[in-house]
Chain A
Amino acid sequence: MTGSPLIRALDRGAVWFVLVLAAVGILVPLLNLLLPESSPWHVPTYLVALWGKYVCYALLALSIDLIWGYCGILSLGHGAFFALGGYAMGMYLMRQIGTRGVYADPIRPDFMVFLNWPELPVYWYGFNHFAYAALMVLLVPGLLAFVFGWFAFRSRVTGVYLSIITQALTYALMLGFFRNNFGFGGNNGLTDFKDILGFNVQAQPTRAALFAASVAALILGFLICRTVVASKLGMVLVSIRDAEARTRFLGYRVENYKLFVFTLSACMAGVAGALYVPQVGIINPSEFAPGNSIEAVIWVAVGGRGTLIGAVIGAVAVNWGKTTFTSGVLAPYWLFVLGSLFVLVTLLLPRGIVGTVKHYWRVWHERREVVAAERAEAAPKPAE
């Protein structure tokens, strides 16, 4: 157990996982850009956008797994942080439209002209700079999570109470963002984007680059999470999850640990949202819907909470299933499948896919060791 925390964090599984992610992040854009469309190995652009969306969801799932799997905080409002990050990015993209909007106003986005807003509200200032928007992507969800967590954890709101008030939080934000006078486009949200950093959002190379950026963010997020959970801090988090009162009595400031990991998780969710918006091309208040946040929790449960890798796998698997179901004749049955997933995973597969595999791997491994030890013990006996 020596070396930098990062090295310590990378066990064999984690290294393999990062390598696979990196390979996907490099290969998919290359196969999309370099090969002609006739080639069997060509990846169509719509798939790049679709999988880019899954990668963003995976990052969101990772952020939920960090707090739920390792600290026992079940947030049913993480979609709010995701959406706030998305709105910050959306505001940047809106400012980039400039005079190409329907009303060709150089400063104000279309919806403000439409609603007769005389000038840009103060909180829209600065969003024409990418660096400022990027900072806000981290800062806004982080600050909200910090303030919310500061109140919640200090007064020891835990368990289902915390879940319910996080849900109320995202519900309140949804109601707010649906209002036109909030200045975020009302129920239409922000859309009709043109450029990001001077590149056309719709263009094939931009989409490939956004995909690569999302995968890079996912890898970075994964490494951060691994580092956190493998450090001593991570041990404290797990002990808070398993016995909060005992950890407190041992002298740890439980609320500070929780606050740190909750804020970190919210920032990650914000980044996921920010990468999601340019790939999907719209952000609207329905992203705040409580149902979305709960759905994100089930991705983690399916993949396996407290495994990090499982969160990524769960998010991709469930969303792939959703796309497959909802785009065909089976569309009316998707909610049955999703609902059954919630029920069956909690009842029959509480460890999730990755957790179950790990569990039986360990059981099998231990049994083999026991058998080997028995054999080693038993072997000399006949010789006697």
Chain B
Amino acid sequence: MPLCERIIALVCAIGLLVAGALTASAQNYEAALAGFTKDSFNDTDAAIGAVAASGNPLAVQVIEALQDGRLLFGDGKVFIKDKTGATLDAAAGKPAADAPANLKTVRLNNRLRRSVEAALGSLTLMSPDPARRLEAAQAVFKSRDANALPTLDAALAKETDTRVKRALTEARAAVVLFRANAAENDKIAAIGVIKDRADQDARGLLAGLPAGQPPAVQKAATDAIASIDNRLALWNTVQNAWYGLSLGSVLLLAAIGLAITFGVMGVINMAHGEMVMLGAYTTYVVQEIIRAHNPALFDYSLFIAVPLAFLVAGLVGIVIERTIIRFLYGRPLETLLATWGLSLILQQAVRTYFGPTNKDVGNPSWMSGAFELGGITVTYNRLWIIVFTLVVFVALLGLLRFTRLGLEMRAVTQNRTMAASMGIRTARIDSLTFGLGSGIAGIAGVALSQIDNVSPNLGQGYIIDSFLVVVFGGVGNLWGTLVAAFSLGIANKFLEPFAGAVLGKIAILVFIILFIQKRPRGLFALKGRAVEA
């Protein structure tokens, strides 16, 4: 059976080879360690390089110990003092039972500390943890340390994780690009790699290329910079659009309740912002109770706060409607003034009870953090708020379209007397509609508490914006509110880089003022008889 024999022979040969390599590596390592026992800076420096190059798995531990002043020597042997205080034999990595009593620390100076750091940087390129390898690769990309090149090559050959591999390739390209004696072709290839990275760092790297490069390299670098600029501009646009969507969702959340009370009922509720504020404070109270009694529930605090905020704000809304607003139907200007007064009272009440300072409302773990998507950073809280806004919007549409309450609301809005004669109790529907609008404002408060300061003035910041959204979108039209909120949000964010935040806002205000002149009833105006009703 020649085949069998051959295979056995092959296996044996490989086994021998590996064993030989291992012993060679171990010998190198042990020889290198001896350098630490000489108590001379030059020998230590050589030892650092040799240990790092040995590829022994203990090397990282040794160099880290050296950095922390935990590397000791005595009797021609080197020891590591563990973080727990135990003494390990550096050669074997096992606890040393026979450690001499008079151990001395291996001393460092600033030159050696740099060597230690460089050694650690390239050693972590070999770390078994991909996250650490990635970090090390990015560090090398920034430092462009030419000594790391052999380690980089070795790491690249072994690397299997695609992300880390890319980072390593980029780091290698950066090193090659800045090495004085690299070949022209290599440099051009390196520029290609860095061009594909296409972020601000890559642009900075290429722009910082020392003068006196060969013309071909220079040209490649200039082209690469132009291409990166294009990509950056594209991502910048995407980023602005994302911020705009995020702002639009906030505007929509704040305005959607108003679209009910103002748009459907025709009631100017200047205390709408305070309903938002009540929702935010409900979240605060819920979180405080959870913190005090059952911290494990903290991640669910928002799920508890949403229905509660709806109830609190909705009930306050119904009370307001029953006690004040119902006496003012048909007198919109008076309603405006009375509800403004109400907003002052609510603000001051909250200020008196909770104090004027901002309250700390925490993000649950699933709402904190961010992830990278192409060239932009997406934070989870913004993402969830957009999702939440759309859910609320769809739920509201469904409620108006498919439930009995929604049907009666639409009936009362379209023709109050006819609805009344069909047996709908219009006064009750008015209360419930107002309660619904206020409750939705409360829900908005829960979401806004995650991104804004929870203070008694929280609502004031949103009231003018919300009115503008509703008016811009067209009164009595929820889809109009949606379109208006997102278009205003996106327009605002696209104006900001040119005009600055404040001028951008002013430009939007002026635009809406002019727009209302042109289309006094908004983007999606109701047509027909309903207009004058």
Q: Is the C-beta of A357 less than 8 angstroms from some C-beta in chain B? A: no
Checking B338, B468, B517 against A347 with a beta-carbon cut-off of 8 angstroms, the contacting residue is: B338
**A-contact bits for B454-481, CB 8 A (1 contact / 0 none):** 0000000000100110010000000000
Question: Which residue of chain A lies nearest to B341 when distances are taken between CB atoms in the complex?
Answer: A342
**Interface range on chain A (Cβ under 8 Å from partner):** 35 or more
Measured in the bound complex, the distance between the Cα atoms of B338 and A343 in whole Å is 4
Question: Which residue of chain B lies nearest to A68 when distances are taken between CB atoms in the complex?
Answer: B333
With A298-B337, A350-B334: A175-B344 Cβ-Cβ less than 8 Å: no
Q: Is the C-beta of A31 less than 8 angstroms from some C-beta in chain B? A: no
Question: Which residue of chain B lies nearest to A301 when distances are taken between CB atoms in the complex?
Answer: B337
Measured in the bound complex, the distance between the Cα atoms of B506 and A344 in whole Å is 35
A335/B471 in contact, CB under 8 A: no
Checking B332, B349, B502, B510 against A160 with a beta-carbon cut-off of 8 angstroms, the contacting residue is: B332
Measured in the bound complex, the distance between the Cα atoms of B464 and A156 in whole Å is 21
The number of A-B residue pairs with CB atoms under 8 Å apart is 114
**A-contact bits for B309-334, CB 8 A (1 contact / 0 none):** 00000000000000010011000111
| Residues from chain A with Cβ under 8 Å of B513 in the complex | 148, 151, 165, 168-169, 172
| Residues from chain B with Cβ under 8 Å of A335 in the complex | 344-345, 347-348
Measured in the bound complex, the distance between the Cα atoms of B519 and A151 in whole Å is 12
| Residues from chain B with Cβ under 8 Å of A341 in the complex | 341
Q: Is the C-beta of B111 less than 8 angstroms from some C-beta in chain A? A: no
**B-contact bits for A289-331, CB 8 A (1 contact / 0 none):** 0100010011001000000000000000000000000000000
A339/B344 in contact, CB under 8 A: yes
Measured in the bound complex, the distance between the Cα atoms of B339 and A340 in whole Å is 10
B520/A156 in contact, CB under 8 A: yes
**B-contact bits for A169-195, CB 8 A (1 contact / 0 none):** 101100110110000000000000000
Q: Is the C-beta of B268 less than 8 angstroms from some C-beta in chain A? A: yes
B residues contacting the other copy or chain, number (CB 8 A): 39
B502/A175 in contact, CB under 8 A: yes
With A332-B352, A343-B338, A346-B337: A175-B506 Cβ-Cβ less than 8 Å: yes
Interface secondary structure of A, over-half rule:
helix
Q: Is the C-beta of A30 less than 8 angstroms from some C-beta in chain B? A: no
Checking A155, A160, A336, A347 against B345 with a beta-carbon cut-off of 8 angstroms, the contacting residue is: A336
Q: Is the C-beta of B404 less than 8 angstroms from some C-beta in chain A? A: no
Q: Is the C-beta of A7 less than 8 angstroms from some C-beta in chain B? A: no
A343/B324 in contact, CB under 8 A: yes
Measured in the bound complex, the distance between the Cα atoms of B506 and A298 in whole Å is 27
| Residues from chain A with Cβ under 8 Å of B338 in the complex | 342-343, 346-347
B352/A74 in contact, CB under 8 A: no
Shortest Cβ distance from residue B14 to the other chain A in the assembled complex, whole angstroms: 75
Question: Which residue of chain A lies nearest to B356 when distances are taken between CB atoms in the complex?
Answer: A332
Shortest Cβ distance from residue B410 to the other chain A in the assembled complex, whole angstroms: 22
With A155-B518, A338-B344: A346-B328 Cβ-Cβ less than 8 Å: yes
A160/B337 in contact, CB under 8 A: no
* New A-B pairs, 5, CB < 8 Å, besides A159-B332, A163-B268, A165-B513: A151-B517, A164-B468, A178-B502, A297-B337, A339-B342
Listed by A's residue number, 17 A-B pairs whose Cβ atoms lie within 8 Å are A157-B516, A157-B517, A161-B471, A163-B268, A164-B468, A169-B509, A171-B464, A171-B509, A175-B506, A176-B502, A179-B502, A333-B348, A336-B344, A339-B341, A342-B338, A342-B344, A347-B327
